Amino acid sequence: MSDATENFSSFITVNGAKLFLDSTDGRAAALLRRRDLLHPTATALWQLAINSASWDWVIDVGANYGEMLVGTDLPSGSTVVAVEPNQRVLPYLARSLQDAIPTATILPCAVSDVCGTATMHEDLTWSGNSTLEGEWVAERADHTWRRIDVPALTLPKLLTEIGVRRDDAVLIKLDIEGHEGTVMRTALGSLRDLSRCAVMVELVRLCEADLSWLLTEFCVTVLDVHRSVLVSADGMSVAELSSLIEEGDVHQRDVLAVPRRDRTSRC
């Protein structure tokens, strides 16, 4: 990764810190035009999750430029980990965290259902679309894509490698463009074993079967965007949750999911 000064001439200021950006990337260009975060209600949900407990670990899987870490107030005692396989954005992520959260660790890998090497479909037009799920490429046929091999870990293996213990409280953001269900299914047992755990899961490309599974295995809450509070979706079907989201009163992109100890556990 290059650290030439000219690489870091483009940035925005969020939460009092600089977020460095590659201005040739469409997603970065959108951030530069807005001069602010692209999804403020997602940030609000993430901040509520951060504030909901004393977390030992805050882990951002699919960190991109790091705005969900730089743009929020993190607990001082937490260990912060950013996971991002895209070599294009990694130098900017590293520079932003170096300044804003110097104790943060960056893992340059993907998270999947197997360890080893995975094929990432990198969107050269909009870095945030890069994914391990190749079928999504057709949705953005007007974008430029390339296939590259990246190192991959399962979420349980990642937690082990960074030193998470069973008695730790762990908060995870999982935004990996359609691969969330696969990763969550692989990790369910490990997440249940933690003393406390919550996962902010992106819904944008989550299929109906994965959403149904999520509602069964996790206590799911959504963000009421008018009152800025979390609202339980416990007992809802996929259709009911989808209807609630479509009404526009709750944040539409992500939910907060806490693993049930078993399927009969109430939230």
**Could you report the per-residue pLDDT of 126-158, keeping only the tens digit for each?**
999 998 877 777 778 899 999 999 999 999 999
Q: In what order do the strands lie in the sheet with 79-83?
A: 105-107, 79-83, 57-61, 169-174, 196-202, 254-259, 218-224, 229-232
Q: Say what the pLDDT of residue 5 is.
A: 46
Q: Name the percent of the chain lying above pLDDT 90.
A: 84
Q: Say what the pLDDT of residue 180 is.
A: 85
Closest CA to 242 of 190, 206, 195, 191: 206
- Domain ranges in the chain are 5-259
Banded pLDDT at 264 (limits 50, 70, 90): confident
User: 165 CB contacts (<8 Å, ≥6 apart)?
Assistant: none
Average pLDDT over the chain, rounded to whole? 93
What are the backbone angles phi and psi of residue 166, rounded to the nearest 5°?
A: -65, -25
Helix, strand and coil in the chain, % to nearest 5: 35, 30, 40
Q: Is 44 exposed, middle or buried (0-12, 13-18, 19+ CB in 10 A)?
A: middle
Q: Decide yes or no: CATH 3.40.50.150 for domain 5-259.
A: yes
Task: Give the integer Cα–Cα distance in Å for 122 and 69.
Answer: 22
Length of the chain: 267
Q: Quick check: 2 pLDDT over 80?
A: no
Q: pLDDT, tens digit, for every residue of 168-214? A: 999 999 987 767 889 999 999 999 999 999 999 998 888 899 999 99
Q: Name the percent of the chain lying above pLDDT 70.
A: 97
Q: pLDDT, tens digit, for every residue of 113-122? A: 999 999 999 9
* Number of neighbours of residue 194 by Cβ within 10 angstroms: 19
Note whether 28 and 21 are within 8 A (CB).
yes
Q: Say what the pLDDT of residue 139 is.
A: 78
Q: Which pTM value belongs to this model?
A: 0.94
248 φψ region: left (φ > 0), alpha (ψ -120 to 50), beta (else): left
